[in-house]
Amino acid sequence: NAGVTQTPKFRILKIGQSMTLQCTQDMNHNYMYWYRQDPGMGLKLIYYSVGAGITDKGEVPNGYNVSRSTTEDFPLRLELAAPSQTSVYFCASSDPQDIQYFGAGTRLSVL
């Protein structure tokens, strides 16, 4: 039972670099989410998707992009990394009862 898998687990970027955070789920869930978690700030929704080919912005989408070409995959793209994007990123998917299942996270530092 893999659930939600995120790669990489850790990454250090230089300012201005770009990268893609990978997320895949094997539960055939339509809904998927990207969050960032900063100390004391809880979870902030970056983007979400209600199914393949459909994505929408969350609370803090600036500086990020997503795509959803398949039900399984929901990658998050950072185009021009900034120090403000230093955070822990979580991908999640939800079942029909709205229970969200989270990946283990990607810890990103932008220096």
**Residues near another protein, by CB under 8 A:** 4, 31, 33, 40-43, 45, 48, 50, 56, 58, 90, 92, 94, 97-105
Residue 6 and residue 23: Cα distance in Å, rounded? 5
Cβ closest to another protein, residue 48 vs residue 64: 48
Cβ closest to another protein, residue 55 vs residue 85: 55
Cβ closest to another protein, residue 73 vs residue 102: 102
Min separation Cβ 48 and another protein, Å: 6
Task: Evaluate the omega torsion of the peptide bond into residue 83 and state whether it is cis, within 30 degrees of 0.
Answer: no
β-strand partners of 20: 77
Min separation Cβ 60 and another protein, Å: 13
Three-state DSSP class for residue 107: strand
**Cβ of 77: how many Cβ atoms within 10 Å?**
14
